[in-house]
Amino acid sequence: MSKAIKEHPDMRILKTATCKSVTGKSTLTYQIGCTPNNTIHIRIINNTNSGFWNSEFLAIADIQKALADGPKGQPLTSFLLQPLFQGRSSNSPGFMMAALTNERLLRVLKGKKRGHEFLDPEGFNASMDKLVASKAKSEGTAGSTVKKAPRKKAAIKKKATSRRKTATST
């Protein structure tokens, strides 16, 4: 397995999206990027709740391999991703499962909130191929022009400031 990448100067951001966490208690923001050799990676960059997470890029191929190495005939769970996040936040594997579900690489099994199954990756691969081909090299390298979603504290502070202005103007 390849090593997780926190900041990669040549990583091109192909997509930034949001989804609900597996529990539905928070909204996650994640990025999908590619290296110069077009290896697709994914990372979580924001969580609207207070839980911590790991923001390192992981190769989609490494994630798929870790999930495929799980027990045959059993639902896929975030536990299978723990080795990729070793020594990191315990929320990270579950958050990654939510992002993969949002990208339609996985599907939640009926009656199993945390049990998933693989979906055909053809649609995901086709959309990534299209993004790789259409994005100009100069657009969005990791850590440069990509804006992070506001953190919860910043949103609360902004709301409080807005309320104070409204209260003093009446």
Q: Is the pLDDT of residue 109 over 70?
A: yes
Residue 71 tokens read as: 């027990």
Instruction: Determine the pLDDT at residue 166.
Output: 47
Instruction: Determine the pLDDT at residue 19.
Output: 95
Q: Is the pLDDT of residue 116 over 80?
A: yes
pLDDT band at 161 (very low <50, low <70, confident <90, very high): low
Is the separation of the CB atoms in 84 and 63 below 8 Å?
yes
Residue 70 placed within a domain: yes
C-alpha dihedral sign at 158, 163, 164, 166: positive
Domain span at residue 101 reads 12-169
Is the separation of the CB atoms in 106 and 116 below 8 Å?
yes
Lowest mean pLDDT among 32-41, 62-71, 102-111, 158-167: 158-167
User: How many folded domains does the chain comprise?
Assistant: 1
Q: Is the pLDDT of residue 140 over 60?
A: no
> Considering only CA atoms, which of 71, 73, 42, 68 is closest in space to residue 56?
42
Residue 3 placed within a domain: no
Residue 85 placed within a domain: yes
Whole-structure pTM value: 0.73
Q: Is the pLDDT of residue 156 over 80?
A: no
- pLDDT tens, 44-60? 999 998 778 888 899 99
Residue 9 tokens read as: 């100067």
Residue 139 placed within a domain: yes
Residue 44 placed within a domain: yes
Instruction: Determine the pLDDT at residue 87.
Output: 67
Residue 86 placed within a domain: yes
Residue 17 placed within a domain: yes
Residue 46 placed within a domain: yes
